[in-house]
Amino acid sequence: MSYKTIHKRSKKKQAPKKQGGNFLLAAFWALCSALFLWLAWVLWIGGPNNGPVGGAVSKWLFNALGQAAYLIPVFLLYWLWRSARHKTLAFVTLSCGVLLTLGGLATGFAFLKSVFTASSLNGGAAGVWLYRFIASLMGPAGACLLALASTFIGLHILFAIPWVSTIRKTAELLKSDFNVWMAARAELKEKVQEAKTHEKPQPRRVVAGEESAPKPLPAINRPVAGMVKMPPRVKPVQPELFDNLDAPPPAAAEEGEKPKKEFILPPLDLLAAPAESALIGPSDEEIAQASAKLENTLRNFDIAASVTGVAPGPVVTRYEIKPDPGVKISSIVSISNDIALAMKARGIRVEAPIPGKDAIGFEIPNDKPHTVTIREILQDPAFTLSKFKTTIALGRYADGLPATAVVSKMPHLLIAGATNSGKSICVHSLIISLLYRAKPQELKLLLIDPKRVELTLYEGIPHLYDPKTTCDDVSVVKDAQGAVKSLQALVKVMEKRMKIFEAAKVKNIESFNLWAPKNNEEKMFYIVTIIDELADLMLQTKAAIEDSVQRLTQMGRALGIHIIIATQRPSTNVITGVIKANLPSRIAFQVASKIDSRVVLDANGADALLGKGDMLYLGISDAKPNRVQGSYVSEEEITKVTDFLRAQGGPDYPFQIMPEQPQAGAQPGEGLGTTPEEMRQALTLIKERRRVSQDLLKAHFGSSARATNILSVLEMKGFITKPEGSNRWEIHYDLIDGQLAAPAGGAEPEPQYDTIYK
């Protein structure tokens, strides 16, 4: 069959176009529009100018429906608009909605007329008949409730109003307005008080003959002669355990000394203000089009389901799909790629089912993503009204609500994601949240940054902490050996806190901070340890890091010690089973594969994220991870906040790990069966060979017993350590270099921290 034959046949099968179709359609819309305008004039404006027909129509409608007849032109206009938009009349559905709404309103007006007889309300003949009929069966209260329900159902059929989200947003708006009003009231009260304080006194008029001698100053804080100041009586409770407590003791103020300035939390003005547009997510029209397209796509695959709810978020919008009875969830999940193709989306994540709902969630990316700033989360009541000092801002959930968490409830957090997925921004957001929430005497930060470029912005802030060094020398830890020493020192701090809690007979830091003021003791501060890149530490000192992290995460929660670990390599070599088991809360950013997603979350989903702050947050009590768009904080904002904090002072905390004081004139190994010369030879040998073992020392010194003894002395003095659960020695070359640099025979060895190495 030739091409010409097929072309001729196709031409013959084409139906001829109707010439009068467009004219009839235009005439129909013109008549309906004219009917709307005429009814609006007759019912709303006309009055005596309606004419005989208009007067009869308006009189009949008012007699039948009362004041509910005023809504008839509104419903007619809505029907015209919806018919033109969706290219379908939907006459039956809209008629049901109109009848239910008008009937419910007319019945309600009739009920009100029966209660308030002097009012001008009128339900018409239909309303009076419906009210009397229902009241005879259910009573007046039942008739009123049924009228409200009918009106509600009719409006829902007509306009498909999302009642839950509307009520929720209205409540949030009212709460926000109330908080703004309270803040403005407090600010006004403060300004009035300040104005009264700084008000200038009126000049004193001097009467003739009155002496102008100045009045003597009042005696303030003057000791009375013979008075002896007695020290307070305090019941002792094992005072040796409370020496060098976490918070610095208050200095005894001398006479004339100015009181210590109160620490001020940074203001929100240092952070960039969010966008003025309050609309988060797509518009109502875009949501309606996407919902219709989603239902049509499911219908094309012979799946009976409907969109029952929409939750617009800053980056993705979740459409809730409720399948009809008998439809399997797997049949809907299996066509997620086809739905992504139909919706022209970059990627779709399916949540089947949504926890607590009988629906399936399709998270579809928005065409215009909304940037979530950290300021809009920090000023939200979900953050400001929290009673915990360790509250952090995560961002916004997929439904647009603010996402916050409490570090002390996590109690430890694992953050993982590929490069440029938003992991470092998330770490900065957590730190800024803590700095806005707690003062230095309430919270300390141990920052470990092997990359040397991320956390160095926080050098010198008052919250900085390192248990292995004094507050004068504290800085962000940047090398693997320093990280090992800091974590091992933090383990000793944890053990010391255990003894203090045992003596005070309390079980957690909250109870101790309530007990301490009553017993003349200082409160303890929270310690949040943040490791920005775990992979580099695990590559160099895996055994020591894993051992310290395991001990801190298992026992530090009640003692106010919490750990946040971030890594860009979510593999089993980095996130080992020991670390993963002790970090119950997880944040997963975009990863390369489903295997990496399962390593972090024990579930798929992180591989389908969009990047740039899009993450899945799995809390300690969550059955499934929640999708969150992380809050953004820029480097400029971080600099402003840290400069504000540094202007109020530097780090200040007591040094808790006391060094072991060696005996005067003692040399390494002296009194332990070895000579100083043998120790120097062993240290030199270890430095040259870059390893240590009993066989190496035996080959050099010629005796197995001497090699064993030297090895024990090296471990006792801290030159080498063997982490628990490992058979490999770790060599501290910095200590060896310091010992070899000292003159032989006369100088004392450098003091070693027994709490770290022994």
Q: What is the pLDDT of residue 21?
A: 56
Stretch 87-93: mean pLDDT:
68
**Whether residue 460 has pLDDT greater than 60:** yes
- Which domain, by its residues, includes 681? 676-757
The CATH number that applies at residue 392 is 3.40.50.300
Q: Does residue 513 sit in the same domain as residue 616? A: yes
**Whether residue 152 has pLDDT greater than 90:** no
Determine whether 745 is exposed, middle or buried from the number of CB atoms within 10 Å of its CB (0-12, 13-18, 19+): exposed
The model's pLDDT over 366-380, given as tens digits with 9 standing for 90+, comes to: 888 888 999 999 999
C-alpha–C-alpha distance, residues 752 and 555, integer Å: 26
Stretch 729-744: mean pLDDT:
81
**Whether residue 758 has pLDDT greater than 80:** no
Range of 106-120, 236-250, 434-448 with top mean pLDDT: 434-448
The model's pLDDT over 502-535, given as tens digits with 9 standing for 90+, comes to: 989 999 999 999 999 988 888 999 999 999 888 8
What the block records as the tokens of 43 is 């019912």
- Count of Cβ atoms closer than 10 Å to residue 720 Cβ: 18
For residue 205, is it within any domain? Answer: no
What the block records as the tokens of 385 is 């009204």
What the block records as the tokens of 137 is 């069966």
Backbone angles phi, psi at 444, to 5 degrees: -125, 150
Q: What is the pLDDT of residue 521?
A: 86
Stretch 189-218: mean pLDDT:
50
Closest CA to 487 of 473, 536, 479, 452: 479
**Whether residue 160 has pLDDT greater than 50:** yes
What the block records as the tokens of 80 is 């015209």
Lowest mean pLDDT among 177-191, 261-275, 408-422, 456-470: 177-191
Q: Is the pTM of this model over 0.75?
A: no
For residue 578, is it within any domain? Answer: yes
Closest CA to 605 of 623, 590, 586: 590
Q: Does residue 418 sit in the same domain as residue 326? A: no
For residue 707, is it within any domain? Answer: yes
CB 678 within 8 Å of CB 710: yes
Question: 3-state class of 392 per DSSP?
Answer: strand
Q: Does residue 380 sit in the same domain as residue 289? A: no
Backbone angles phi, psi at 392, to 5 degrees: -125, 155
Q: What is the pLDDT of residue 89?
A: 59
C-alpha–C-alpha distance, residues 486 and 446, integer Å: 8
Q: Does residue 622 sit in the same domain as residue 640? A: yes
Q: Does residue 740 sit in the same domain as residue 705? A: yes
Domain count, the chain: 4
- Measured CA to CA in angstroms, residue 39 lies from 35, 92, 98 at distances of 6, 21, 16
**pLDDT over 90 percentage in the chain:** 21
Q: Does residue 300 sit in the same domain as residue 343? A: yes
The CATH number that applies at residue 307 is 3.30.980.40
For residue 224, is it within any domain? Answer: no
Stretch 620-630: mean pLDDT:
88
| First and final C-alpha spacing in the chain | 95
Stretch 670-675: mean pLDDT:
56
The model's pLDDT over 284-332, given as tens digits with 9 standing for 90+, comes to: 888 888 888 888 888 888 888 888 888 888 888 888 888 888 888 888 8
Determine whether 204 is exposed, middle or buried from the number of CB atoms within 10 Å of its CB (0-12, 13-18, 19+): exposed
Q: What is the pLDDT of residue 725?
A: 60
Q: What is the pLDDT of residue 267?
A: 92
Range of 117-131, 343-357, 451-465 with top mean pLDDT: 451-465
Q: Residue 639's pLDDT band (boundaries 50, 70, 90)?
A: very high
For residue 576, is it within any domain? Answer: yes
**Which is more confident, 485 or 280?**
485
Stretch 554-574: mean pLDDT:
90
Q: What is the pLDDT of residue 744?
A: 57
The model's pLDDT over 262-296, given as tens digits with 9 standing for 90+, comes to: 889 999 999 988 876 556 778 888 888 888 888 88
Closest CA to 551 of 498, 478, 476, 481: 498
Q: Does residue 328 sit in the same domain as residue 416? A: no
What the block records as the tokens of 430 is 């957590």
Backbone angles phi, psi at 547, to 5 degrees: -65, -45
Q: Does residue 440 sit in the same domain as residue 510? A: yes
Lowest mean pLDDT among 110-119, 398-407, 470-479: 110-119
Q: Does residue 319 sit in the same domain as residue 383? A: no
In angstroms, how far is CA 367 from the centroid of its own chain? 24
Q: What is the pLDDT of residue 156?
A: 81
Strands 316-323 and 360-365: antiparallel
Among residues 109, 132, 161, which one ends one of the domains? 161
Q: What is the pLDDT of residue 279?
A: 61
Among residues 120, 137, 161, which one ends one of the domains? 161
H or E stretch covering 6: helix 3-13
Q: Does residue 591 sit in the same domain as residue 696? A: no
Long-range contacts, 29-38 (Cβ 8 Å, 24+) = 29/80, 29/84, 32/76, 32/80, 33/80, 35/76, 36/73, 36/76, 36/77, 36/80
Q: Does residue 441 sit in the same domain as residue 423? A: yes
For residue 640, is it within any domain? Answer: yes
Torsion (CA) 483, 485, 488, 494 in degrees, nearest 10: -90
Going by the DSSP 8-state scheme, the letter that residue 373 receives in this structure is: B
Closest CA to 570 of 583, 551, 553: 583
Contacts of 382 (CB under 8 A, 6+ apart): 401, 402, 404
Q: What is the pLDDT of residue 724?
A: 62
Average pLDDT, the chain: 79
The model's pLDDT over 331-365, given as tens digits with 9 standing for 90+, comes to: 888 888 888 888 888 778 888 888 778 888 888 88
Q: Residue 215's pLDDT band (boundaries 50, 70, 90)?
A: very low
Stretch 183-211: mean pLDDT:
58
**AA letter at 313:** G
Q: What is the pLDDT of residue 248?
A: 45
How many CA atoms, within 13 angstroms, populate the side-chain half-sphere of residue 88? 6
Q: What is the pLDDT of residue 210?
A: 40
> In sequence order, what DSSP letters do the residues of 487-510 get, joined into one string?
HHHHHHHHHHHHHHHHHHT-SSHH
Q: What is the pLDDT of residue 352?
A: 80
**Whether residue 574 has pLDDT greater than 70:** yes
What the block records as the tokens of 709 is 């003894």
CB 358 within 8 Å of CB 306: no
Q: What is the pLDDT of residue 2?
A: 46
For residue 693, is it within any domain? Answer: yes
C-alpha–C-alpha distance, residues 395 and 226, integer Å: 64
C-alpha–C-alpha distance, residues 401 and 118, integer Å: 47
Q: Does residue 323 sit in the same domain as residue 464? A: no
For residue 402, is it within any domain? Answer: no
C-alpha–C-alpha distance, residues 730 and 252, integer Å: 45
